[in-house]
Structure 1
């Protein structure tokens, strides 16, 4: 091992063989110098090391859910896919509960499956996306259906599925 100094990253300390996806997990809360809170959530849609969402489908879920969540959830800063393609980091102002986040994710995925059409997907042109050709609404809908069929848990290690 080299002498490069690396900071500890919480998600790399998580035992990915013990979690039970799909789930919403609070990674942590940071407080700024003025007391503002920023919460970081692990939105895991696919069981780690057993599957991954293809990039085109994940890309379309990312663009669509980013817009849908902003209509349901105050304080969303960002929702970005994990490189492993099993879910997303969601960064929000304040300290919402995992249940509140899970409800917003569930209703957004439900809309993606039931109501979203291609013309609704934001950021699908060369002007609005850095890889606009890598989208698939069909894949996004199929993966979202699988997540919804399994249910979204509010516990990463126990299937406490929200109703």
Structure 2
């Protein structure tokens, strides 16, 4: 295969999670910028979030990150279950995304329910853990605050 997949170019053995990493920008033919970010929650090849926790975080962050950042195209869990990809129209710095993620995760910690947990709005609505989502949110917030809030 000759196609270069950006996430495969990162040395997963040389990073320390959690972190926010700008994976790159794409400029559309009309001149718009689309930015991609790696929102890594757990250490690659050492930890993986269980599906119930990452699925609940996906539902919660879908709304809470959009409250903090405009023009989000998508936030999707990584197949390795160590974090999420954030795709956004327009460019931002890692710090701006990190601060928005901290705010969104604090809302997760204070959540009483997960949105769209029903068979009409979700294809696997039974596999959710609000408790797990809150625990990972607490861990990530504590570590990212040390990096982004001085």
TM-score (norm 1): 0.88
Look up the match of 1:26: 22
Write the distance in 2 (CA, Å) between the matches of 1:44 and 1:61. Answer: 13
Q: In structure 1, what is the equivalent of residue 123 of structure 2?
A: 130
Q: What do you get for the CA RMSD once the two structures are aligned?
A: 1.2
Q: Say which SS state the counterpart of residue 130 (structure 1) adopts.
A: coil
**Structure 1 residue 148 displacement after superposition:** 1.6
The offset of 1:6, in angstroms, is: 4.6
Over residues 13-52 of structure 1, what are the superposed CA-to-partner deviations in whole Å (9 max), with x where a residue is unaligned?
1100001111110001000111000000000011111101
Distance 1:150 1:25 in 2: 15
In structure 2, what is the Cα distance between the partners aligned to 1:31 and 1:111?
32
One of 13, 16, 29 as aligned partner of 2:12: 16
Tell me the secondary structure at the aligned position of residue 106 of structure 1: helix
**Relative contact order (alpha carbons < 8 A, sep ≥ 6): 1 or 2 greater?**
1
**What are the ranges of 5 or more consecutive residues in structure 2 without an aligned counterpart?**
none
Equivalent of 1:64 in 60, 70, 83 = 60
Specify the structure having the higher radius of gyration (Cα): 1
TM superposition outliers: structure 1 runs of 4+ over 6 Å: none
1:101 and 1:124 map into 2 onto residues whose CA distance is 27
Q: Deviations over 1:86-111 (max 9, x none)?
A: 00010000001111110110011011
TM-score scaled to structure 2, two decimals?
Answer: 0.95
User: How many residue pairs were aligned?
Assistant: 149
1:161 equivalenced with 2:147 (yes/no): yes
Deviation per CA, 1:44-77: give whole Å up to 9, x if none: 0111111011000000001001101111111111
